[in-house]
């Protein structure tokens, strides 16, 4: 362990070779372990600040620093993204760390088969198929999947299992699949059901229920009462599953809600997800941090680390103002190639959330 004075001398000795460009810097201890990663619009100016009067945290950090290296980036938003990525990789002791950052599950309608498959999916590639979510709880996905299978009776089996069937499986017997594997339903009728599932998953619930009602009336006029009754039951079940999964306010579409609070020196972050007007659940995070960190800094770090591997909603509302709001919006746009709005509501339904 070096002294604070020695640490400051180390910083001064490296300033002559430090560019006045955006980038990230890493502080390493005697064992060459990364103990802190920071970003800067101007690396020279940022490192110069460590030669001045320091906070308790920075004094401790400088006293442990034996070397400093850096990477230049093309812009400040790029530096912000690289900083968050490297923090997740190296987990430096003086940075704010997001724990339990696992991926969230989705419901996926696989459409690359003539008989689409409904299943749970966990991953970041959302390019193939239709997805509903993300959900914060795997249990919530299982419950919703079970309800959808009862209503639409689409297959959940793998292609190998599907191709090997010579007679219906148990899912058909318990009325959770129409057994397309053995032609118990026509390809056209099955694909129509798959389209209905897609409408439901993408929030077209009113249109879907209207179409089903018209279909039911037509079947009744044709005296196909058994088929009409099945459609009627499907309409009722759809209304039930919407209520069961928790519908948000009518004017909520895709929204992430992030609230932060401090209790006994610890920060608690509560995340709620809304997709196509439905509540997809909530979860809590307890980031590791140095005691003197403030809410602003912790919330900024959470936003950047959390959205490193998760696609943000078009709108994000946060409970507290943050200093680098526009910079973070620009960084998320660069990372995910989409426009993201981050706001701190003061009134209205978003404030109540």
pLDDT (tens digit per residue) in 147-206: 888 889 999 999 999 999 999 999 999 989 999 999 999 999 999 999 888 888 777 777
pLDDT of residue 247: 43
Domain 4-90: state its class. Answer: alpha beta
Tell me the Ramachandran region of residue 187: left when phi exceeds 0, alpha when psi lies from -120 to 50, beta otherwise.
Answer: alpha
pLDDT at 249: 44
Omega of the bond prior to 134 within 30 degrees of 0, cis? yes
Coil/strand/helix, residue 195: helix
Convert the pLDDT of each residue in 278-302 to its tens digit.
788 889 999 887 777 889 999 999 9
Q: Tokens 């690359």, residue?
A: 112
Domain residue ranges of the chain, discontinuous segments joined by + = 4-90, 105-245, 255-352
Contacts of 294 (CB under 8 A, 6+ apart): none
**How is residue 315 written in tokens?**
């709108």
Neighbours of 299 (CB within 10 A): 24
pLDDT-derived band of residue 240, with 50, 70 and 90 as boundaries?
low
Q: How far is it, in rounded angstroms, from Cα 121 to Cα 124?
A: 9
Residues in the chain: 353
Mean pLDDT of 35-56: 94
What is the pTM for the complete model shown?
0.80
- As assigned by CATH, the class of the 255-352 domain is alpha beta
pLDDT in tens, 110-123: 988 999 999 999 88
Asked if residues 46 and 25 have their Cβ atoms less than 8 Å apart, the reply is yes
């Amino acid at each position: 362990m070096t002294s604070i004075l020695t640490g400051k001398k180390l910083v001064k000795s490296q300033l002559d070779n430090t560019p006045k460009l955006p980038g990230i810097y890493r502080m390493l201890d005697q064992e060459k372990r990364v103990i802190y990663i920071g970003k800067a619009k101007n690396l020279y100016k940022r490192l110069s600040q460590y030669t001045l009067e320091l906070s308790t945290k920075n004094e401790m950090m400088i006293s442990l620093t034996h070397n400093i290296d850096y990477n230049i980036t093309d812009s400040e938003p790029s530096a912000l993204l690289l900083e968050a990525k490297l923090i997740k990789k190296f987990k430096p002791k003086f940075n704010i760390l997001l724990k339990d950052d696992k991926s969230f599950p989705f419901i996926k309608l696989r459409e690359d088969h003539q008989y689409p498959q409904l299943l749970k999916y966990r991953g970041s590639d959302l390019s193939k198929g239709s997805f509903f979510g993300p959900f914060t709880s795997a249990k919530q996905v299982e419950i919703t999947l079970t309800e959808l299978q009862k209503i639409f009776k689409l297959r959940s089996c793998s292609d190998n299992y599907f191709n090997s069937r010579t007679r219906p499986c148990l899912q058909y017997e318990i009325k959770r699949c129409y057994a397309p594997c053995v032609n118990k339903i026509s390809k056209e009728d099955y694909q129509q059901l798959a389209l209905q599932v897609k409408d439901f998953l993408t929030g077209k619930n009113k249109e879907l229920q209207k179409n089903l009602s018209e279909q039911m009336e037509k079947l009744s006029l044709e005296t196909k009462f058994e088929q009409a009754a099945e459609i009627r039951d499907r309409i009722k079940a759809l209304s039930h599953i919407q209520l069961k999964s928790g519908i948000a306010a009518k004017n909520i579409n895709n929204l992430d809600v992030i609230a932060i609070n401090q209790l006994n020196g610890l920060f608690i972050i509560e995340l709620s997800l809304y997709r196509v007007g439905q509540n997809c659940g909530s979860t809590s995070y307890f980031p590791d941090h140095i005691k003197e960190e403030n809410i602003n800094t912790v919330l900024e770090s959470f936003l950047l680390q959390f959205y490193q591997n998760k696609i943000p909603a078009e709108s994000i509302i946060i409970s507290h103002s943050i200093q680098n709001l526009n910079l973070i919006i620009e960084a998320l746009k660069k990372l995910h190639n989409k426009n993201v709005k981050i706001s701190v509501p003061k009134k209205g339904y978003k404030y109540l959330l």
